[in-house]
Structures are given as structure tokens and as C-alpha cells.
A and B are shown apart, each in its own frame.
Chain A
């Protein structure tokens, strides 16, 4: 029986996991780098162990140090959060081999979904709709390659099989450029991901980013917990997320959700996961599966009333899912703004000491953050300092609540993207909803002009 969980992460998600553990009566072990030694959540853990100096490669990515900390502290499970080691199959394997529970899917599942071509093949088998394009390794013969791209229809996109998160991809509009672009992407993929394998898909010009949250137990049950729209992105980094995806027929989302749950059952998935899709002209196209909890999970928690992180822990310790699909409902609408320590115009990072801090509150407002007055945002990690989440009776209500919450929030001493969020919540396109994944880049270009 697991009674102690090591949290192999930092920042807001470390605190989020700590709270979920406490709600279940589990003891927590915080591991931290020297840069995070003064963080409040580290002090609040039942046990706290320093695992190395500030650079992540020598602390939060140091597998041996984390495993040693787990053994020393008597932790029975390791929750990886998101980022760092969350989708590292080798780490999951080491955790399992050490006789500990990895709070997430099996190493085999992580590995299969990490290979984008293998993932696509698995999804097709489960009837999950994919972007047009082959799910087999590409032929080497130039004429056969051209035939593949012609069969898909231009423009096509060349992607690294080991990539993801928007990295390692190139669009080809002109058939004459296909072979050059393939060679270039292969070279880059070899350098960046350690594998030159690439694949080709249809390039969708104006899609939305829509995703399905799933949760599966170790007894063959899987549920889908609704849709999210994360189309407001800058350089593939999500800025504002919402649940549910606005303006898509419920029946379409339900049909897709059921396919995703079925895919989980087929591949023997357990834990929380997200199926990401491009939504274009009324059709969904699978792009990748994230085999971890995501930053934006709170919008789904707010609309379903389900504590997803607690559910992760419960299925990790072997419990069956405590509810069935017909007990999962989506009520109202939720929005999340990622508050980053960065210049709202230039996006230059702005680490440093927070000397003024006021967070909004009231009905339907939630702030997930590890920061506070006097907190020094370290320069070593990502720039997110808080997630501001609101829920409304419908989308318009949620938008108005978010505007009010943003007007109440104050962060001084560092620069944040709060002014950007305020401007976006005033933008007619954002207020109307359903914008595509390039909307924010166009909006920023217009603003800069």
C-alpha cells in the first residue's frame, strides 16, 4: 500500500500534486534544486530533499538522484508532474524496476506514444481520426516519396517522428522543394531528437487545437472527461485554454471522446492523458498523445467537478475508476490564463523578486500558483508563475469573470504578461471564440505594426 509519494517536479504543479496527496491522506516528499530551496511548497512537504544544483540537468532531470531520494524517504510512488521526466520512458522503467509506482502509464505506452509514427498507427487501429498521410516509415526512393506527397495533396508538412510540441516540422507548398525539405528536416531531427526519422502529413492551414482529456485505470476501464480548446498559442506555447471547445456539436465531441477512451483500452493505457487534435472544416485530426497531466487540466476539473490529479494517484495505487462515463458531465465553461514572468510586449524573460502580489478571488475564481510576495522567480526554469482559472455558467459569463479577475490581479517587481491577457480578453475574436492556432501570432503582428 502506498502511503508516501515523491513529487519529482517544481513550481505550481509540485504544489498541485502535494494538495492532491494531502486530500487522499498521503505523505509527500518534495525534491528540490538549490534554486528552489526557499519555496513555500518545499517547506510544506512532509519531507524535503535537495537533489542538486539549479540547472535542471543536474537536479530535476537527474534520474539517479530522484530514485535515491525516493528510496531514502520511503516513498512508494513517484509523480512526475509535467515536463522534466514526465514523458521519459526510460525513467518510468527505472522507477518500475526499483519496485516503485510511476504515477502515469507504463514505460511501453510512453515509448509508443513518443514515437509519433507508431502513435498514429495505434490511433488508426482504434478508429481515432488522423491527419491524412502514411503511418509507415517513408520510402527512400525519390519517385515513391513524391508519389506519397502527391497522394496526400499539397501543402504537406514534414515532421520529425521523435519531435512534438511543435518542434522539428516544416511546411512544403511547392512539390519541387519536397526532397530538399525532407533532407533538411531529417538532418535537424538527427541533431535535435537523436533520430532522423520523419513523416509527411497534410498541412492544415487554419485549424483549431482541440484536445480530449482521458483517464484510465489498471483494470481496463477508460473515461474521457471532455474537450478543451488551446488554440491561443504563441510559438506553440499555449497562452489561454478553455473547456469545453466552443461551438463544436456535442455529439461530435462525444463520438471522438469515445474513440479516445477505446484507444486507451486497446493500448493498455493507465493514468491521465490527453489526445491532441487539429480541428478543421468540421473534422478532427489526431496529432499526438501526451501521456501525463497537462498544465491546462484545471479547466476540465472546473467543468467536470473531478479532481484529475487525485484520480491519477488513485488509479496508480491500483483502485478502479470510481465513476462511469454517464456520470461524467460538462457544466458551464472554464478559462485559464497562464501568467508568465515575461515582458508583455517583447516576451523577454523577467525573473526576479516579486515585491507586489495580489491575486483575485471570489465565486468561480481559482489561482494555482507557488509564488507570492517576496518570492524570487528563478532564471533556470520556465516562466509560468501562476495559472488564473475561472468558471462561468457559459462562455460569455466565463469571459466576463476572467476580465474582472485579471483586473484584480497585480504582480510587481517582475514583468508579467497580465497586460497581454487583458488585451486578449478585450479582443472581439477571442471574445467570440473558435479562433485558429495562428490567430495570436497574427494579432501580435498587427499590434507590432
Chain B
């Protein structure tokens, strides 16, 4: 079970309404449990998340950036240009993350707050539905 597969499973769980996901392959079993309250502070670890009783603080370090409209996502400003952001990159509030093209109009999507790009969930040039998750962001405290 490689890291890419585990990341894919995490993203699949994240994007769904499921709260648990169990995956077995070659004798190994991975169980992912979605945290509905607070999340552990180091969730990038590939190990299965464990249910814990957490303090009341409703801190949610993860959020997704979603497409505002049905369109085509562009992760760079022009073909051949470097991507606007990459996984693991620190971003500040207002920074442009990507552009959505719909009917010849390009709309810039900006980071709501300071944080880190935890995952890029789409490929450049891909068609995306309104509301589809494009990035998973980890917010700075």
C-alpha cells in the first residue's frame, strides 16, 4: 500500500459523506475514520486516524476550496507557466490558488486565510462541477 493510494483514499473519504472507510489489500488493512469534531494536529500522517475525545475547541485545521461554478479549472496562469500553488506550499490570505474558466470568463479563486496547501484535488484543464473540492487546505493557527 503506497502513500499515493493512501492519500487517494483520504481524499475520497474527505469528499464523501462517509465517516469511515476500510480498505484491505495483500493482507494489510487500512481503516480511516473521519473526525467530526476536532482533528489531530498532525493529520498528514498516513496512519489511520484514531477517534479521540477532544477538547471543546472547534478548531478545524482543514477545509476545502470549492469551485464556485461549473467550468474548467486552470492551475497555472497560461499554458507552460509554473503552477500557481503546489502541495505543501504556504499561502497567505487573498493569494490566487487557481482560475475557473466558464464561457470565456476567467475567475480567480483566492485563499480565504493563511495556511498550507495540503492537497491539490484536480488536474489543470479538468472540467469541474459547481461545489467540487479543488484544494484541501490546512489553516495556520
Contact = CB atoms under 8 A, between A and B. Distances in A.
Binding site secondary structure of chain B: strand
A382 interface: yes
Contact of A381 (B70, B103, B107, B130): B103
Interface string A361-403: 0000000000000000001111100000000000000000000
Nearest to A353: B70
Contact of B69 (A54, A349, A381): A349
B47 interface: no
Interface string B90-117: 0000000000011111010000000000
Given A351-B103, A379-B103, A54 B127 contact: yes
B118 interface: no
A351 B72 contact: no
A380 B72 contact: yes
A380 B126 CA distance: 12
Interface of A: 54, 341-342, 348-352, 379-383
B12 to A, nearest CB: 24
B127 A349 contact: no
Residue in A54, A380, A382 whose Cβ sees the most chain B Cβ within 10 Å = A380
A383 B69 CA distance: 14
12 contacts: A349-B102, A349-B103, A350-B69, A350-B102, A351-B69, A351-B70, A352-B130, A379-B69, A379-B71, A379-B103, A379-B127, A383-B103
Q: How large is the interface on B (under 10, 10 to 19, 20 to 34, 35 or more residues)?
A: 10 to 19
Contacts of B127: 54, 379
A54 B125 CA distance: 10
Nearest to B101: A379
B72 A348 contact: no
A348 B105 contact: yes
A349 B101 CA distance: 9
Contacts, number: 36
Given A54-B127, A379-B127, A349 B105 contact: yes
A342 B107 CA distance: 14
A348 B107 contact: yes
A301 B115 CA distance: 59
B127 to A, nearest CB: 7
Nearest to B100: A379
* Closest 3 A/B residue pairs (Cβ): A349-B103, A349-B102, A379-B102
A353 B37 CA distance: 35
A125 B131 CA distance: 57
A379 B107 contact: no
Contacts of B102: 349-351, 379
A382 B130 contact: no
Contacts of A382: 103-104
A240 to B, nearest CB: 20
Nearest to A414: B70
A350 B104 CA distance: 12
Contacts of A381: 103-104
A342 B104 CA distance: 12
Interface string B50-84: 00000000000000000001111000000000000
Contacts of B69: 348-351, 379
Contacts of B104: 381-382
Nearest to A383: B103
B98 to A, nearest CB: 15
Contacts of B71: 349, 351, 379
A376 to B, nearest CB: 9
Contacts of B130: 352
A54 B107 CA distance: 19
Nearest to B105: A349
Nearest to A380: B72
B70 A352 contact: yes
Contact of B70 (A54, A342, A379): A379
Contact of A341 (B72, B101, B103): B103
Contacts of A352: 70, 130
A352 B132 CA distance: 13
Contacts of A379: 69-72, 101-103, 127
B101 to A, nearest CB: 7
Given A351-B102, A379-B101, 14 more contacts: A341-B103, A348-B105, A349-B103, A349-B105, A350-B102, A351-B103, A352-B70, A352-B130, A379-B70, A379-B71, A380-B72, A381-B103, A381-B104, A382-B103
Contacts of A54: 72, 127
A350 B103 CA distance: 8
Contacts of A341: 103
Contacts of B101: 379
A341 B104 CA distance: 12
A348 B107 CA distance: 9
A40 B103 CA distance: 20
A380 B105 CA distance: 10
B80 to A, nearest CB: 15
B48 to A, nearest CB: 38
A348 B69 CA distance: 9
A108 B104 CA distance: 30
Nearest to B103: A349
